[in-house]
Structure 1
Amino acid sequence: MSKLHLISLGCNKNLVDSEIMLGRLQNYEITDDVAVADVIIINTCGFIDSAKQESIRSILEVHDARKKDSLLVVTGCLMQRYKDELMKELPEVDLFTGVGDYDKIDEIILKKQNLFSPRAYLQANEERVITGSNYHAYIKISEGCNQKCSFCAIPTFKGKLKSRSIENIVDEVKKLVKKGYFDFSFLSQDSSSFMRDHAKSDGLIELVDAVERIDGVRSARILYLYPSTTSNELIRRIIDSKVFQNYFDMPIQHISDKMLKIMRRGSGAKRIKELLTMMREAENSFLRTGVIVGHPGEGEEEFNELCEFLSEFKFDRISAFAYSREEDTLSYEMDQLPTKTIEKRLSKMEKITKKIVNDSFANELGKKFEVVIEGVSSEGEMFYGAKKLLWDKDIDGEILINESEFETLETGKIYDCEITQVIKDKVLGRVIG
């Protein structure tokens, strides 16, 4: 049997696409060793400069390590965005394809032909091979984006919003439930715009209703809400749900009205604060956000306003990114801030966000809640690793289980846990039932 090695870079939306490719290539034996693989696939990210560099570095490293006569296939966002340049500059790669042909990867390999469909692939009924979990799966609900953020090039190579039908999504979830999956994260570029391409302003509420009716879904959450397309009704529906967690992931990018206007975010600070307050006031709520530091037009006053807001408003997790100047974006032609200024601000922001996250972890001390056992912890075999059922997988932290009323704990099973110790971002707990 031929061996396959697949590397999935970037976000979890990319991971779903990689799992679709694995579903099409189940006649291959998966290997973690690139040196013995007959086929190597790299699913690239092309969102910001650091991700692009990582993708190119991975391609070159894999080429150096692979065996003679193996096939190196590069796909994903980077290839879609820069296909003409990269096909000339990367002789190391055997086959190129973009974001529209994940369901044709077996044909591409068989025919050994490059393929670039003009539109991003919208998942239909393909079987996926879920990786990294026996209980949790990401569900992509749409592709593309209708937003016009000044800093983002995604619409230029992913196209406009294209939503999957609710029936199609429900069918996929039901199939995964039958395989034992019970925890789901629904995601897209702009999840709160779901079904707006079908003239439905609150299609996400319909999706919540439909998922709640599926027997076997124990827990769910929605990722990537966008301020201008998130309604009060949607937030209330999530809060009222017995299946969807009070998990609110809304990248605000900034809080200065001046910067929100420059960044073309569509909502002002007042509306963003109103939404966040509704979310925070929900029982057992969890708030995650993302911000950009150093966008053109950001002065010290605007940066300090953002720092002050983040310090005062109690988020649970914050991702801070340095502004990346990207071709085909509105901000590309704006007057850019000096690199040293951006680096200095990011350093200050990272200290603020680290304290906020550590404070959130500290608030867990002494609490009791449901966790899912992930297996051996990142700290080694001395601990089990666990995820709070409320949290998203991998990105929100790990609970180290060092005590248990049970002799053995099963991966993918839910247990009651009490948090006994917190040291910065290290959270220790014991299973009590």
Structure 2
Amino acid sequence: MANKLHIVSLGCTKNLVDTEVMMGKLQNFELTDKNDEADVIIVNTCGFIDAAKKESVNTVLSLHEARKDDSLLVMAGCLSERYQDELKEQMPEVDIFTGVGDYDKIDELLVEKKSRFSDEVYLIDGAERIVTGSSYHAYIKLSEGCNQTCSFCAIPSFKGKLKSRNLDSIAREVETLVKKGYWDFSFVSQDSSSYLRDQNIKDGLSLLIQRIELIEGVKSARILYLYPSTTTMSLLKNIAKSKIFHNYFDMPIQHINDDMLRIMKRGFGKEKTLELLNFMRSLPDSFVRTSFIVGHPGETQEMFDEMCDFARSFGFDRMNIFAYSDEETTSAHEMNDKINEETKVKRAEILGDIATECTGKSLEAEIGKTVNIVIDKESDEHEFLLSARELLWADEIDGEIYVNDRTDDESELQFGKIYKAKITQLVGNILTATVDNAPSKS
């Protein structure tokens, strides 16, 4: 088989882990950024909401137009899984279709040149990955599927119920990556705070924290995608006590109005959601990220205004804003009181502006602080500026810091190392910092 591979990972970081598994199985291929030179092209698609579905289809078609005549085009992942019959019929451009169950069999599929959709969702357990994008940070997938019944979410319809990895499997993967030089980890899943609940263990994340803290070489960690009704105060306190896990709280609440939370089938109302958020915010050096959905069926102007007032006043560090996407197989799809597209777009713009303001305030509050940063690369802005991030922040998600000076200029700054740095100013939406000592031993 010819040996040039072009691979594209769309959607979330959980998809990225699966893409890295495929890369691990295809190490006999030479990776290329030039899709017109590739012998095999793989797109790991996203099928979550309408915008992601369109991006996936357009990416596949665009790659098809430029590819070599004798190349293989593979459409994998969530969109392919969710609409396997329709896509096979409507996209003859694709040579091989596969869903969310056969990432570790991608080498076999290429040899057979056949489509395959296994019944079980693939969950990494010992497979070798080619970690991308960083020499020191890696995402670790905790589970697949979801037991929640959110009105707007189609994920359980094609990924099924929650299926957690066991602690030993996760620990072995982290240990393997530490031996390769990785020391910063972000733990992800559809609903991370439900980890191990499918095995009748209520607070699995607390057990995970204890286990990861025992692994020598892990210097930094954070947990993404907490779900309000499965996030316990005990868990938050255990994160706060950890010397490795940051007070980083990523909990998409989607709304704050009591009636809308009930309509969305979120499990928790406003009072208990606020109890969690206020505790997160009260912790030292905490970072709080959330997501909101605007324009869900039944959302009144008053409900939207309440969400805007709350988003503006709470003090979130980052917010993601989504306009409601009407997805078949969801309960919201069958609801009346649909919001028209013009109103959804307008509301998303209004809340998006608030999110931008809140991010700006969060960044301004960093000025004058001395924080731990990691330098990743040369910046795109100027050859004398280095691109870094605050160690607390999630990799490539929460922003960038330009390092433009240091007090000790005797040694060259190194990529992938932790430094103490003083935040000096905010230029646009990017902070600048001065490194003032040698790499930290923390």
Mapped to 2, the partners of 1:16 and 1:381 lie a distance apart of 31
1:218-263, Cα deviation, whole Å (9 max, x unpaired): 0000000000000000000000000000000000000000000000
Aligned equivalents of 1:269 and 1:177: distance in 2?
A: 41
Match of residue 423 from structure 1: 427
Residue 70 (structure 1) shift: 0.5
8 Å Cα contact 1:361/1:424 also seen in 2? no
Deviations 1:333-369 (A, max 9, x none): 1121011111111111111111000100011111111
1:340 corresponds to which residue?
Answer: 342
401-410 or 253-262, which deviates more: 401-410
**Which residue number in structure 1 is paired with residue 399 of structure 2?**
397
Question: Which residue of structure 1 lines up, in the alignment, with residue 31 of structure 2?
Answer: 30
2:240 and 2:111 map into 1 onto residues whose CA distance is 48
C-alpha separation in 1, matches of 2:213 and 2:74? 39
Name 1:66's counterpart in structure 2.
Answer: 67
Task: Please tell me the residue identity of whatever aligns with 1:355.
Answer: E
Contact residue 44 and residue 74 of structure 1 kept, 8 A: yes
The aligned amino acid for 1:367 is K
Aligned partner of 1:374 in structure 2 is: 376
Cα separation, 1, equivalents of 2:392 and 2:79: 33
Q: How many residues align?
A: 433
Equivalent residue for 1:206?
A: 207
User: Could you tell me which residue of structure 2 aligns to residue 384 of structure 1?
Assistant: 386
Output aligned runs, 1:111-122, within 5 Å.
111-122=112-123
Task: Tell me how far apart the structure 1 counterparts of residues 141 and 151 of structure 2 sit (CA, whole Å).
Answer: 24
Deviation at 1:408, TM superposition (A): 2.2
Determine the structure 1 residue equivalent to 2:256: 255
Q: Residues of 1 paired with 2:196 and 2:356: CA distance?
A: 36
Q: Tell me the SS of whatever aligns to 2:19.
A: helix
Q: Which amino acid aligns with 2:264?
A: M
Q: For residue 20 of structure 1, what is the aligned residue in structure 2?
A: 21
Equivalent residue letter for 1:409: L
Q: SS in structure 1 opposite 2:94? A: coil
The TM-score normalised by the length of structure 1 is: 0.99
Equivalent-residue separation in structure 1 for 2:358 and 2:381 (angstroms) = 23
Looking at structure 2, the residues matched to 333 and 39 of structure 1 have their Cα atoms a distance apart, in angstroms, of: 40
RMSD: 0.8
Task: Provide the C-alpha distance between the structure 2 equivalents of 1:389 and 1:423, rounded to a whole number of angstroms.
Answer: 20
**Cα distance in 2 between the residues matched to 1:381 and 1:186:** 33
Q: Which amino acid aligns with 1:377?
A: S
SS in 2 for 1:382: coil
2: CA distance, partners of 1:276 / 1:57:
38
Aligned to 1:358: 360
Deviating 4+ runs (over 4 angstroms): none
Query: CA–CA distance in 1 between the matches of 2:33 and 2:428?
Result: 33
Cα deviation, residue 420, structure 1: 1.0
- Which shows bigger deviation, 235-244 or 115-124? 115-124
**In structure 2, what is the Cα distance between the partners aligned to 1:132 and 1:157?**
28
TM-score (norm 2): 0.97
1:68 is displaced (CA, Å) by 1.3
Matches of 1:221 and 1:379, distance apart in 2:
28
The equivalent residue for 1:243 is 244
Task: Give the aligned residue type for 1:417.
Answer: A
Amino acid at match of 1:347: E
Where structure 2 has 5 or more consecutive residues not aligned to the other structure, the ranges are 438-442
Partner letter of residue 317 of structure 1? R
1:282 corresponds to: 283
Matched residues in 2 for 1:86 and 1:383: separation?
A: 46
Gaps of 5+ in 1: none
Q: Could you tell me how far apart the structure 1 residues matched to 2:18 and 2:382 are? A: 30
Cα shift readout 1:168-209 (whole Å, capped 9, x = no counterpart):
000000000000000000000000000000000101110000
Of the candidates 413, 417, 420, which is equivalent to residue 417 of structure 2? 413
Matches of 1:153 and 1:382, distance apart in 2: 46
Alignment of 1:97-136 (within 5 A): 97-136=98-137
1:215 deviation in Å? 0.3
Instruction: Tell me the amino acid that sits aligned with residue 416 of structure 1.
Output: K
Identity of paired residues, percent? 55
Residue type matched to 1:112 in 2? Answer: K
Shift of 1:380: 4.1
Q: Secondary structure at the match of 1:40?
A: strand
| C-alpha distance after superposition, 1:254-289 (max 9, x if no partner) | 000000000000001000000001100111000000
Report if the CA contact (8 A) 1:362-1:424 is conserved.
Answer: no
Secondary structure of residue in 2 paired with 1:23: helix
For 2:383 and 2:265, the matched residues in 1 are separated by: 48
Q: Secondary structure at the match of 1:238?
A: helix
Q: What one-letter code is carried by the residue in structure 1 that aligns with 2:413?
A: L
> Deviations for 1:103-133, whole angstroms, at most 9, x for unmatched residues?
1000000111110012211111100000010
Alignment correspondent of 1:233: 234
